[in-house]
């Protein structure tokens, strides 16, 4: 499916979208070689939700980072190594991992992989209250 129509800031104006994830990943192949072995596309963006499809070549790595919202990672293809809070999780096709807001983590592709990242985005007041944002009390 074509990406839903969006506003200037990338927020989707549609309230419904349908995606063929296998086809989306197949289209990613046309963009190889991927910079740093990673290719991603935001499929859906609303003020409270992000859905991102990410594909990684074997051995590619997303360095330690965090998301300000609660997130989930669902592996659609291959295998990734997800490290957070001193633990490593080997996730393969069909695995789902969830993570609370603002928890640092990194991701490494064990094999060529594709996964769906979903982030439940906090509202502005919650964002401003987060200690790492410097506005919290």
Predicted confidence pLDDT, tens digits, the chain (137 residues): 555 677 877 788 888 899 999 999 999 999 999 999 999 999 999 989 999 999 999 999 999 999 999 999 999 999 999 999 999 999 999 999 999 999 999 999 999 999 999 999 877 777 777 777 655 44
Helix intervals (H) in the chain: 21-28, 124-129
For the chain, the structural domain boundaries read: 21-29+36-133
What are the C-alpha distances in Å from 91 to residues 7, 101, 124? Answer: 35, 20, 32
Topology of domain 21-29+36-133 in CATH is Jelly Rolls (2.60.120)
């Amino acid at each position: 499916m074509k990406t839903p129509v969006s506003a200037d800031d990338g927020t989707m104006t549609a309230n419904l979208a349908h995606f063929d994830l296998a086809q989306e990943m197949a289209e990613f192949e046309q963009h190889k070689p991927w910079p740093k072995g990673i290719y991603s596309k935001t499929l859906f963006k609303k003020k409270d939700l992000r859905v991102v499809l990410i594909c990684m070549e074997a051995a590619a790595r997303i360095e330690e980072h965090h998301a300000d919202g609660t997130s989930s990672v669902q592996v659609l293809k291959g295998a990734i190594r997800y490290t957070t809070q001193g633990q490593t999780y080997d996730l393969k096709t069909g695995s789902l991992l969830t993570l609370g807001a603002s928890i640092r983590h990194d991701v490494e592709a064990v094999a060529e992989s594709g996964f769906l990242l979903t982030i439940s985005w906090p509202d502005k007041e919650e964002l401003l209250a987060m200690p790492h944002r410097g506005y919290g009390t």
